[in-house]
Amino acid sequence: MRRKLLPFLFFFLAAVAFAAPDRPSRPPNIVLIYGDDIGYGDFGCYGATAVKTPNVDRLAGEGIRFTNAYCSSATCTPSRYSLLTGEYPFRQKGTNVLPGDAALIIEPGRATLPSLLKHAGYKTGIVGKWHLGLGADKVDWNGEIKPGPLEVGFDYSFIMAATMDRVPCVYIENHRVVGLDPKDPIQVSYKKPFPGELTGPDVKDRSTLKMDRSHNHNDAIINGIGRIGFMTGGKAALWKDEEMADVFTRQALDFIGREKDKPFFLYLATSDIHKPHVPHPRFVGKTPMGPRGDTIVEFDACVGAVLKKLDELHLAENTIVIISSDNGPVLDDGYKDGSNEKVGDHKPAGPLRGGKYSRFEGGTRMPFLVRWPARVKPGVSDAIVSQVDLPASLAILAGQKPDPKTMPDSQNVLPALLGESKTGREEVVLHAQDGGLALRSGNWKYISPGKMREGLGPWKFSVIPEPGLLFDLSSDPGETKDLAAANPEKIRELADKLKTISNNPQQ
Ligand SMILES: [Ca+2]
């Protein structure tokens, strides 16, 4: 009799344990807050003083602050591709920065970070910037917009298609444009303007614009701001840039609230701090740095709202919160917003050289924070990790066995992410779409011959000659002393290694 009761008792106790809040047996929720164009030096916890980021700094103090964490590429689309697929972007054609009417570049059905977590029982959601293409060919913005996030592993999606400076300037929830009046259908073109729609060249008095361009961004004028690409229709659905951060934050909080009773994965890809920098009026003037600095404060407020929500729902203890960015910082990226003139002593890339678009460290070394109170002790880690490792590492944490064939570059660096190991990867490949590849191996950094952008915009362009550049990051984090001539064997070794990795995954 007693023996027969035991299994029931076990199941009863298991059910009680499973129902308890913050139960350790439940897989952790995962919230990945992915900033846009935020540099290594843009947060207080990485040395910024001209901008205050108390919420990000709080998370850093309660978790691990990484000093050698990388995105895969120095621009948006390729980094985001890598983050979700576990594959370096240079292995696939078509992964460079996409126009807003591009087709989906992730093959539906392939293993992704969200699909593996979904398979592990997670509810998966994306809120914010997508920029990985939508549809199989030409998208009908007035019908069902697919395939997209829902076809590559997300249960819920509330996104902008591409970037704030590209059309279409509308939100898309799951498969539909939000707030679209069917009597005012949307058309999008990246080739020619639509008759009767205001475009940049029509605006002779530039003071009538909310923000003028410095280069490009002179196609459709929407909300007083020039964009890349043309669109017509959908007037009721157009976003207002100054409200975007609040809209995405609200959607993120709603997702957490809806899914709080099961493990969830939220990929919150913020609009901040990508150009055009248009913070909500309550953040205007919060820094001496103009709109770019103010959008960092807006990003921090979004982080604060998410942390508060997790606290209110008693989810913080067993939720992993990761904060990072998709590429390095940029000042003048196409709008006259005072970013260069007002930057003052602030160093957007901290002590690193270069920024967005660059293969110098500023292009791809990212702020990277991991907080998980139930398991992770606060600290600082110098382990080398890459965002391309998140799919395999988080999937393994959730009990999945990712296939290295489908996620060829995603290494399991979970011990480093959780602070249980001081080492992560031995080397990482870094990419800039108009430059080529670079390799970090231990403290050595090799940049292959090819094009190079210098500066944070406007840029100087140069060509790196054979045999490339070599730096010792342990003594020269700012990549100022090229050691190539003095170390011919080392540079040959690294060039060979880079070639091997780029030809053969997981070497
Ligand atoms: Ca970006």
Burial 178-212 (b: 16+ CB within 10 A, else e): eebeeeeebbbbeeebeeebeebeebeeeeebebb
In the structure, what pLDDT confidence band is assigned to residue 504 with cuts at 50, 70 and 90?
confident
pLDDT at res. 61? 98
In the structure, what pLDDT confidence band is assigned to residue 154 with cuts at 50, 70 and 90?
very high
- H or E element, residue 159: strand 156-160
Cβ proximity of 368 and 324 under 8 Å: yes
CATH level 2 (architecture), domain 428-503: 2-Layer Sandwich (3.30)
pLDDT at res. 505? 81
Q: Which two tokens stand for residue 42?
A: 């843009």
Rounded Cα gap, residues 36 and 272, in angstroms? 6
- Ligand 1 centre to CA of 37 (Å) is 4
- Ligand 1 centre to CA of 34 (Å) is 10
pLDDT at res. 2? 46
- Ligand 1 centre to CA of 36 (Å) is 4
- Ligand 1 centre to CA of 241 (Å) is 17
Strands 29-35 and 319-325: parallel
- Ligand 1 centre to CA of 76 (Å) is 4
Average pLDDT over residues 119-127: 98
- Ramachandran sector of residue 454 (left: φ over 0; alpha: ψ -120 to 50; beta: rest): beta
In the structure, what pLDDT confidence band is assigned to residue 305 with cuts at 50, 70 and 90?
very high
- Ligand 1 centre to CA of 317 (Å) is 30
pLDDT at res. 16? 41
Closest CA to 57 of 227, 48, 182, 458: 48
pLDDT at res. 19? 43
- Range in 149-153, 304-308, 378-382, 450-454 with the lowest mean pLDDT: 450-454
pLDDT at res. 14? 43
Average pLDDT over residues 150-154: 98
- Ligand 1 centre to CA of 275 (Å) is 9
Residue ranges covered by each domain of the chain: 26-180+239-425, 428-503
**Three-state DSSP state, 293:** helix
Rounded Cα gap, residues 463 and 496, in angstroms? 21
Distances in Å between the alpha carbon of 161 and those of 4, 112, 133? 57, 19, 7
- Ligand 1 centre to CA of 126 (Å) is 17
Q: What is the CATH number of domain 26-180+239-425?
A: 3.40.720.10
- Ligand 1 centre to CA of 131 (Å) is 10
Average pLDDT over residues 458-487: 96
- Ligand 1 centre to CA of 274 (Å) is 6
Q: Where are the alpha helices (DSSP H) in 379-434?
A: 390-397, 414-417
Helix, strand, coil percentages, rounded to 5, for the chain: 30, 20, 50
Average pLDDT over residues 392-398: 98
- Ligand 1 centre to CA of 26 (Å) is 34
- Ligand 1 centre to CA of 277 (Å) is 13
pLDDT at res. 506? 67
Q: Which two tokens stand for residue 104?
A: 């989906």
- Ligand 1 centre to CA of 327 (Å) is 5
pLDDT at res. 450? 95
- Ligand 1 centre to CA of 147 (Å) is 23
Residue 23 clears pLDDT 90, i.e. is over it: no
Rounded Cα gap, residues 359 and 439, in angstroms? 9
In the DSSP assignment, the letter for residue 242 is G
Apex 268 CA angle, 267 and 272, nearest 5: 145
Residue 321 clears pLDDT 80, i.e. is over it: yes
- Ligand 1 centre to CA of 359 (Å) is 14
- Ligand 1 centre to CA of 13 (Å) is 48
Average pLDDT over residues 88-113: 96
Residue 260 clears pLDDT 50, i.e. is over it: yes
pLDDT over 90 percentage in the chain: 92
- Ligand 1 centre to CA of 132 (Å) is 12
- Ligand 1 centre to CA of 240 (Å) is 20
- Ligand 1 centre to CA of 340 (Å) is 18
Residue carrying structure tokens 């069902």: 144
pLDDT at res. 199? 98
- Ramachandran sector of residue 220 (left: φ over 0; alpha: ψ -120 to 50; beta: rest): beta
Which residue has better confidence, 10 or 281? Answer: 281
Average pLDDT over residues 18-25: 46
Average pLDDT over residues 257-262: 97
Over residues 175-226, the pLDDT tens digits come to 999 999 999 999 999 999 999 999 999 999 999 999 999 999 999 999 999 9
Rounded Cα gap, residues 213 and 107, in angstroms? 35
pLDDT over 70 percentage in the chain: 95
Residue 5 clears pLDDT 60, i.e. is over it: no
Strands 264-269 and 29-35: parallel
- Ligand 1 centre to CA of 381 (Å) is 24
Mean pLDDT of the chain: 94
Residue 148 clears pLDDT 70, i.e. is over it: yes
pLDDT at res. 433? 84
Residue 20 clears pLDDT 90, i.e. is over it: no
Q: What crossing angle do the helices spanning 291-312 and 244-259 adopt, rounded to 10°? A: 20
In the structure, what pLDDT confidence band is assigned to residue 13 with cuts at 50, 70 and 90?
very low
Strands 221-222 and 187-189: unpaired
Residue 22 clears pLDDT 90, i.e. is over it: no
